[in-house]
Amino acid sequence: MKEFEDELRSALRRQEPRSGFADRVLARTRSNGAPRRAGWVAAAIAAGLLLSMGGFEYRQYEGRKAKRELLLALEIAGSKLSIAQEKISHLSQRTIHE
């Protein structure tokens, strides 16, 4: 049994791959790394675009909000003005009758 196991060990001795194996592995790690770096650049560009789009949207939202507030203020001012106008005309009518 021992002899047979030794024969197996001899048949299954380690062998070296073709020379330059480590260099070929390194070359593959570099080529695989390139798309990863490109991916990061793309992600950074996308994030920048999103931020600038977000900023633009936010500025638009702020503009719309300011416009709404101005219109509301004008509306309020208008209604108050018409009340005041009504009162003035009422008072002037009373003055004419007296």
Partner 1 sequence: MLTAARTGKVALAEAAGGDDLAFAGIVREHQAMVFSIAYHFLRDRSRAEDLAQDVFLHLHKNMRAIQSPAHLLYWLRKVTGHRCIDEARRQKLRPRVSLTEYLERAPEPSARFAEADPLLAGVLRRLIARLPERSRMIVILRFQEDLEPAEIAGMLDIPLGTVKSNLHRSLALLRGKLERERKGIAR
Give least dist CB 43 to partner 1, A.
Answer: 18
* Tokens, residue 26: 């390194």
Nearer to partner 1, 34 or 96 (CB): 34
Does 95 engage in binding with partner 1 (CB under 8 A)?
Answer: no
* Tokens, residue 61: 């939202």
* Collapsed DSSP state (helix, strand, coil) of residue 20: coil
Burial class (CB in 10 A: 0-12, 13-18, 19+), 12: exposed
Does 38 engage in binding with partner 1 (CB under 8 A)?
Answer: no
Residues 1-30 that bind partner 1 (CB under 8 A): 4-5, 7-18, 21-26, 28-29
